[in-house]
Structure 1
């Protein structure tokens, strides 16, 4: 039902179609929140159980991402692939399905040889807010996830490291914060990554697939540093020595302390010499020392 002018709230009744595998509502004028309460009430704990494609791109949906939808996508939670499905992934069958996928703001047609081994979720270009539900991390067979161009906040869930089949991840143009989870480096099939224009900070991971991503994947995050960006990560200052977790005083502080100590020793030495000269016996002893030193160096 893509590319129409449908004005309505989310059609919850579609969730009762237990054999529905593809739902594409992109480029319409659907609006409002997708209520978790409505999903539980109308879905009767079985909401889109066979769904492999969920595409809500470019509508007017708002509110938080409905975690109960993700909790009911049972078929996406299975990561096992049979021999026949493997042949389909290799393109050795004739059951092809064409899907239009949005990545980096551009649409391209993707030939899916079998829905048994391919699944994607595209909720981009809406006004969803709040944090990403951790339940998405349970969708082990997910291949493409696009949440770009929303108003999502908070950290990127570490649970995304469980999406072992993920090939494309687009979280650009949101308000995500914190570090890039190290767990994402375990996604060995990941070939497309876009984290641009968020509030991410810290050093970019370097392991595995992350060494292949370009500068464009991280643009618009002033707090990020490290390759492939030109911004180098700051190093620990060399004038601090850490002992038991606490920094000692800097070398500048030590210099300021040593100045009055040196002056005190110098003044004390001059005072001793001056008192020795004034004292008669001391003056004789002082002259004897000087004469002896002079004679030894002359001879």
Structure 2
């Protein structure tokens, strides 16, 4: 049966099937398609040349983990019903088209592990996708510099965003103060600003410098913050204790220093959250911040170990002394008995004689 004759086809799930070749153009004539999933195959070809414009009902497109080339097809922006697009782990290149903002229903977008470029413009474009909930940008925009301008997201950017992943991009520069409230703005206005619904923020394995932005303290719904393997300096801000839902926190392998905050969620994080920062100190690292010596609990253990060794040594000495005295006592007793028998023998000899 020819694919083009499947006029009523709404869903096509062919993920993880070892398929190769290219997507047949006749498939794009199935105008009632709602879900098209080809994830994890060996498909290839230039997807820029594919015409998706007839798939007006398409809601989910998943082409991830294949060998496609080109850029995001311009015809894709005609699919106004799209809610989720995944093209991660292909060989796509080029800048992000601003036309993607016409996809007003788009909530999920994964572009990771490709060769897209022009991060500065891409951030502004993505901020215009007002329905985005999940944005995965890991392993793209390699070695680019993150723009340092304030409020790059604009007043309305990313209000619904819950997951933002930009790990393993080798991005450099300082994290922009995108969430910094202007002077005179009330707390209610701060809470309604961009990124306030963010739950997951992954900025790991980049080259971000500077201190941890104080604006992170305003992300009160944050559950995961990963800044590991960067070049962050300064101290871990105590204001981060206000993040009451934070369940995963990782700043390992930076150049941070000073005391690790205590209280709140910080009492739940382990040593693995902080390793690779030689200047950090605190109970979780068993290192006192005042003397760079073991903290009290470790000192008590250290003293206990010393006392145990002392007891063991004293026990050994006491045992040795007892044994030694016992030997002397036995020798003295034997000597006395020897003298007694010798004296007795002499007396016996005198009687006989």
Match of 2:153, SS state, is helix
Q: How does 1:57-76 map to 2 (within 5 A)?
A: 57-66=138-147, 71-72=153-154, 74=156, 76=158
Q: TM-score, normalising length from structure 2? A: 0.50
Structure 1 segments (4+ residues) deviating >4 Å: 66-70
What's the CA shift string for 1:182-213, capped at 9, x where partnerless? 11100000000110000101000001000110
CA distance in 2, matches of 1:76, 1:47: 8
Question: Could you tell me which residue of structure 1 aligns to residue 261 of structure 2?
Answer: 205
CA distance in 1, matches of 2:130, 2:211: 28
Q: 1:122 aligns with which of 165, 182, 189?
A: 165
Q: 1:24 to 1:39 in 2, by over 3 A?
A: closer
CA distance in 2, matches of 1:199, 1:68: 25
Query: Given the alignment of the two structures, is residue 33 of structure 1 paired with residue 118 of structure 2, yes or no?
Result: yes
Deviation at 1:54, TM superposition (A): 1.1
Q: 1:47 to 1:173 in 2, by over 3 A?
A: same
Report if the CA contact (8 A) 1:50-1:74 is conserved: no
Report if the CA contact (8 A) 2:144-2:172 is conserved: yes
What's the CA shift string for 1:40-65, capped at 9, x where partnerless? 6xx5x971122111111122433333
Q: 1:54 to 1:141 in 2, by over 3 A?
A: same
Q: 1:189 aligns with which of 238, 242, 245?
A: 245
Deviation at 1:26, TM superposition (A): 1.2
Match of 2:232, SS state, is strand
Q: 1:14 aligns with which of 100, 110, 128?
A: 100
Question: Could you tell me which residue of structure 1 aligns to residue 316 of structure 2?
Answer: none
Deviation at 1:73, TM superposition (A): 8.1
CA distance in 2, matches of 1:169, 1:33: 25
CA distance in 1, matches of 2:203, 2:109: 17
Report if the CA contact (8 A) 1:52-1:75 is conserved: no
Q: 1:77 aligns with which of 138, 141, 159?
A: 159
Provide the alpha-carbon RMSD of the alignment.
Answer: 2.7
Deviation at 1:19, TM superposition (A): 2.8
Question: Could you tell me which residue of structure 1 aligns to residue 330 of structure 2?
Answer: none
